[in-house]
Chains A and B, each alone.
Chain A
Amino acid sequence: MLGLNKKDAGLLLVVIGLTVFAPFILNPFPEGSALAQFNAGYPDLMQRLVIFGIFAIGFNILFGLTGYLSFGHAAFLGVGSYAGIWMIKLLTLNVIPAIVASVLVAGIFSLFVGWISLRRSGIYFSILTLAFAQMSYSLAYSVLTPITGGETGLQPKVGDPRIFDSALAEGVTPRANLFGVFMNDSYELSLGSWVFTFNAGYYIAAFFMVIAFYISIRIFRSPFGLMLRAVKSNQQRLNYTGIQSKPYTLAAFVISGMYAGLAGGLLVAMDTQAGAERMFWTASGEVVLMTILGGAGTLIGPVLGAGFIKYFENIVSKINEGILQAWFSFMPEAAQEFFVAIFYPFIGKGWHLTLGLIFMLVVIFLPGGLMEGGQRISNLFKKKSKSDTGSGKASPAPAE
């Protein structure tokens, strides 16, 4: 199917299935039940899950395949957002030009950054990319304020030119749309005490994620992808096999930059705002974490990692002391107080602490990420030799 072998086609179908039915899968608990706080089936979060999935898929093409650890990828996402918001302000509220522009501009910017940074490898490369990202961040906050809006960022205004659009009616706020379908349009389906939300923006973003995932499978299975893995494995041998590694790594860098740009453009399409904080180094660190947590170099790992992080970010941030006390209310009071006190630093605003700990634990104990963990568990339970967990490359399988 579509030039994929059975296994990869199956993987693609799984991802399509997951994204299409996400509104059901992410809302397993009935409204009003105690567990409803674990539901994630609302539009804003679902959009983020798939958009950051795209970001991580792209990052994985660079880091997972070539081993070049970029610490500045958020810059491309940020640049993509700015390009997108300007299209929305200047041309039209239709999101297509915004998304196209964000991919192109991020691609050009990553070509420039990559061309310079890839002259060095190892930690030098990481620091160069970090330097570029921090530079972009500082400039966006200071000198480039006319283009970036500085601290307030950019939003569409009623008075924007929007040369392709007819004038908005009096009192109508500018909202992003795709040929008349608004991003925040939703259809709610009530089944018993369950409520499922089908959001237009989510499905548009999910459509792009499926395409992005498909392209990433094709890249993984291509001679180009093989060369990228060879770069990671032994650059010296590659050079003495007549291959120049720089064009390959640069191409991978630009492709992953364009993925980041696409993610930035989609973020703008969904919430119609862009700000410099998206370029901060913590944002770059987050995509590294998503990729590693899921499993760098595996196909589906980064998607899982992005979903995991964004889901827990949302859930953990929502938990407050009251909820914590309710959880431990079955215990004697002293024990309850004790456990609440222990868990309190990790919830709510303590999400970053939890995130940092997860990061460390994964790097220490599970460098292959969730995919490796899954495989270890399945190896434990099944006597079957390396069963197919759908990773494709967690342990390098034959190329076909």
Chain B
Amino acid sequence: MDAIILQVLNGLDKGSAYALIALGLTLIFGTLGVVNFAHGALFMIGAFCAVTLSRFLNLSHQVIDPTKTDFLGKPLKVDVPYIYGLFGENAGNVIIDWAVPISILLAIPVMVIIGFIMERGLIRHFYKRPHADQILVTFGLAIVLQEIIKYFYGANPIPTPAPDVFKGSFDFGAFFGLDSSGIIYPYWRLVYFAFAAVIIGAVFSFLRFTTFGMVVRAGMADRETVGLLGINIDKRFTIMFGLAAAVAGLAGVMYTPINSPNYHMGMDFLVLSFVVVVVGGMGSLSGAVLAGFMLGILESFASLTIVLETLPGINQIIIFLVAIIVLLTRPRGLMGKAGVMEE
């Protein structure tokens, strides 16, 4: 029982990331009809927003601390972050400690702007081109983006910790009245799951309750008709792309404490997220979210020792296997609609 709950929980954080990326992919695909292979790179850029902010906040100048001496007996030079000057030492430390959540404020405008530039500058010209061309050009873009990040940040993962408050773990075992310390789960992962739930809820309510969202949903169902109604689709497409980019970016920001970001994390997630979209059903938002969590949890179950003993290596390929089976038995995915990408 403990083990099962633990695996479900373990699956949630990866599943959240899959769901958020897949949600953006589906939004872009459903509205714009574009297959975006650079979406993983947006996730990665989001993560590096957090890295950047955290480095920026830690920018320091050296001052001589008269109260301390080094081992030679000389006055010790210490690094003092510039931010102390602005907010004082205590508040400064809190801000540095909270760098990752604060990065959300940076990531939203950055991602939206990147999304706008991408859509206006590149994707727009590919609406009418074959899907193969869309895949290829965004694939090229993904390489370029990740290489740029690699150039500035290097190839090694950069640890970016969560705020101290969330460093500990939550004892689910005690919580459920089972073995205490049977199910230990880091706080930050709970935060990540809650955050993902909020974002997903926000995107869904935005689509459901705003006029903008209604037009977008109508556009996903029947693009031609909406175009005929004289609604300015172009502008909405750009905004949708910005929104999808922001969702991916935020998913990346908050993921940094779970996995230290590196330049190729985007592609690692993208391949799996695409599989998630296909399993959920191309063009189905709820399918994408559902499949994201489902596959995340499935993957974590496949990593159980007992499973690995009977089926070695299954954790590495379970998602692909599921995708292959789903595609062959339910070609439209779990919740896919007819007529999407079936030409």
Known contacts A67-B132, A116-B324, A132-B324; can you find 11 more A-B pairs with CB under 8 A? A69-B136, A119-B331, A124-B327, A124-B331, A127-B323, A128-B323, A131-B271, A142-B316, A288-B139, A356-B147, A360-B141
Interface residues in A122-139 (C-beta closer than 8 Å to B):
122-124, 126-128, 130-132, 134-135, 138-139
Cβ of A167 to closest chain B Cβ, rounded Å:
36
Is B343 an interface residue, CB under 8 A from the partner?
yes
Check A69/B144 contact, CB under 8 A, given A122-B343, A364-B137: no
Interface residues in B302-343 (C-beta closer than 8 Å to A):
312-313, 316-317, 320-321, 323-324, 327-328, 331, 341-343
Give how many A residues have a beta carbon under 8 Å from the other chain's beta carbons: 42
Q: Are B125 and A138 in contact (CB under 8 A)?
A: no
Q: Are A128 and B324 in contact (CB under 8 A)?
A: yes
Interface residues in A282-325 (C-beta closer than 8 Å to B):
282, 285, 288-289, 292
Check A142/B271 contact, CB under 8 A, given A285-B139, A356-B144, A363-B137: no
Which A residues touch B148, using CB under 8 A? 345, 353
Which A residues touch B176, using CB under 8 A? none
Check A353/B328 contact, CB under 8 A, given A127-B275, A131-B323, A142-B316: no
Is A237 an interface residue, CB under 8 A from the partner?
no
Q: In this complex, what residue of B is CB-closest to A67? A: B132
Q: In this complex, what residue of B is CB-closest to A136? A: B317
**Which applies to chain A's interface (DSSP): helix, strand, loop or mixed?**
helix
Cβ of B78 to closest chain A Cβ, rounded Å:
33
Q: Are B140 and A356 in contact (CB under 8 A)?
A: yes
A-B Cβ contacts below 8 A, count: 112
Is A161 an interface residue, CB under 8 A from the partner?
no
Check A281/B271 contact, CB under 8 A, given A116-B328, A126-B135: yes
Whole-angstrom CA separation of A248 from B22 in the bound complex: 34
Is B133 an interface residue, CB under 8 A from the partner?
yes
Is A120 an interface residue, CB under 8 A from the partner?
yes
Interface residues in B253-279 (C-beta closer than 8 Å to A):
267, 271, 274-275, 278
Which A residues touch B133, using CB under 8 A? 363, 367
Which B residues touch A124, using CB under 8 A? 278, 282, 327, 331, 341
Is A359 an interface residue, CB under 8 A from the partner?
yes
Interface residues in B137-152 (C-beta closer than 8 Å to A):
137, 139-144, 147-148, 151
Q: In this complex, what residue of A is CB-closest to B343? A: A122
Whole-angstrom CA separation of A120 from B332 in the bound complex: 10
Q: Are A127 and B274 in contact (CB under 8 A)?
A: yes
Is B35 an interface residue, CB under 8 A from the partner?
yes
Which A residues touch B142, using CB under 8 A? 356
Whole-angstrom CA separation of A260 from B243 in the bound complex: 41
Which of A132, A288, A358 lies in contact with B320, CB distance below 8 A?
A132
